[in-house]
Structure 1
């Protein structure tokens, strides 16, 4: 428990620092973080006997992140998106030259890693530029604070009052009571955030909080389903007491794209 607490403390400090310093540090930090998460994903599937194209996948992952980061900052860079079919085609082409018994399984998991580890971080980064004016790091910071509030609330309420299993087949410890507790705690956090980050009214911050609670929980369940499908307990050991990066950022899997879509239509209406 002590190791978990110390790791959690430094993890929060680093995460907040990456958002608070400036937009460049924010972008580079999450580029590196998404790359490490993708490598962790490929290492996991290799344990299950699958051979994804790691180098080609990581290079494509970095390119996808950079392309969408540039588009988020400057919409005139949208032409770069047409290069993606060219770079992504290298994954199945490369498999042609290998002697594997299940080439499409390898190709499929290489692409899945990009969806699982890269896409969520691209949307998270894009939150800072969702209003198309200048970098506003209040949105990604608010997202992180509410995501942590949801995790904390769900854990505390679930451990004390949890009785009704949410998806026992994929995550035996998650309960409906924990989910509801997480939503309530996140809504309270959203209200507090609205007092300091006044870009949005309180009702919209609370709406974002509810989206993060619901879709963050679903992302957590999907990651648990993935780990069970390849028979592993933790995604890695890079964070002592907390598992791997996929374990820590599974909440971004669906929540970041959904929240970005919501904010895009709200701020550009």
Structure 2
């Protein structure tokens, strides 16, 4: 428990510092987290029959990050993302020359990792630029709403949890915990709306609901992956906490939808 608390404290401190120190620190730190999470994914799914192209997949993820970040910071055209096409073609050709037992499975997991991990981190970074320039209110607010949801779900689940939410993939999750997480996250959204007034109170509430619902499904999705691979934790990078994917599973499905929502808020209001 002591190791878990120390690791959590310093990791949160580093994350908050990266958000508050400005756009360059923010995008570099979370891009690095995304690439480390992708590498963790490849290590997680690797078996005797499935061997993703780790180096190639990370190169593809880095290409996507660079193109997306240049678009956000320098207002470059999104056509830069076309660079992922030749890299993807090279990965497909490279797999032809590898003598794997199930080559199509291997290359499929290579691309799945980029879609499942890199895309959500790109959208999370993009949410901070949804208003046209970097604003830490949205990236910080996202994290606070996500942490509030996790904390509320844990406390309510421990105190009142009886009815299983999705026992097949996560036996400990309960409907009571889910509702507790929703209450805590909505409360955090209300407080955030009084301090960060760039978007309305309703918009913060909608963000909260997206994060609670999709964050829960993201957690279940990652649990399904770990159960499929018969492992307890996605990795061991964070002592006492498991891996990065264990810490950011709530971001996997919620970040893309939060980005889309914020984009619509700023484009059509």
CA distance in 1, matches of 2:75, 2:19: 22
Aligned to 1:109: 109
Contact map agreement 1:72 1:130 (CA 8 A) in 2: no
**Number of residue pairs matched by the alignment:** 268
CA distance in 1, matches of 2:158, 2:142: 24
Aligned to 1:21: 21
Using a 3 Å threshold, how does the CA distance of structure 1 residues 48 and 8 change in structure 2: closer, same or farther? Answer: farther
Q: Residue 71 of structure 1: CA displacement?
A: 1.9
Aligned to 1:66: 66
CA distance in 1, matches of 2:69, 2:161: 40
Deviations 1:39-72 (A, max 9, x none): 1111111146410001100011111111112223
Deviations 1:124-156 (A, max 9, x none): 100111122x21111000000110000000000
Aligned to 1:38: 38
**TM-score of the pair, normalised by structure 2:** 0.97
Aligned to 1:260: 259
Matched, 1:118 2:118: yes
Deviations 1:145-169 (A, max 9, x none): 1100000000000111011101100
Is there any run of 5+ residues in structure 1 with no aligned partner, and where? none
Using a 3 Å threshold, how does the CA distance of structure 1 residues 232 and 49 change in structure 2: closer, same or farther? Answer: farther
Contact map agreement 2:235 2:243 (CA 8 A) in 1: yes
Deviations 1:180-215 (A, max 9, x none): 110000000001111111101111101101110000
**TM-score of the pair, normalised by structure 1:** 0.97
Deviations 1:105-137 (A, max 9, x none): 0011000110122111100100111122x2111
Is there any run of 5+ residues in structure 2 with no aligned partner, and where? none
Aligned to 1:243: 242
Using a 3 Å threshold, how does the CA distance of structure 1 residues 55 and 235 change in structure 2: closer, same or farther? Answer: same
Residue 77 of structure 2: SS of its match in structure 1? helix
- Equivalent residues in 2 for 1:82-161 (5 A)? 82-132=82-132, 134-161=133-160
CA distance in 2, matches of 1:81, 1:238: 30
CA distance in 1, matches of 2:43, 2:91: 17
Q: Residue 76 of structure 1: CA displacement?
A: 3.6
Q: Residue 74 of structure 1: CA displacement?
A: 4.3
CA distance in 1, matches of 2:241, 2:99: 38
